[in-house]
Amino acid sequence: MTFILVPVNLGTLAFVDQPQGALIAALAVTGMALNIPIMRAARGMSKAMALPHLICWVPMVAIIIILLTDGTPLTTGFVRFLVLLLIVDLISLGFDLNDSIVWLRERQDEQKKAPTAGGFE
């Protein structure tokens, strides 16, 4: 999925001059960039990487849907790209929602197993 997500989301940089293009690019790239510290801390992939996608891409998807439906004049190329971005990121968000729930539950389980301060329960 990375081999599709990264190039499609970086493709937003080619459309910064379009309506809401700079905001869409900022959200798309930030959703990926925030994963760099997570990958470094985890020394690889982690389900926690879903959280920046949810934070950045859910608003981006909303902006794209509004742009595609509100009658804003858009070039054909931009419309095609937005549809591709929307499809790719909605699929990713479907997985991200599940991954974030799993990650949060794992964190809760770890905290329940951790000893309390002073070693007393």
Model pTM above 0.95? no
| pLDDT tens digits, 38-89 | 999 989 888 889 999 999 999 999 999 999 999 999 999 999 999 999 999 9
Angle of helix 21-33 relative to helix 76-113, nearest 10 degrees, comes to 30
Token pair recorded at residue 33? 């960039």
- Contact status, residue 75 vs residue 15, Cβ threshold 8 Å: no
How far is it, in rounded angstroms, from Cα 11 to Cα 82?
10
DSSP three-state, residue 45: coil
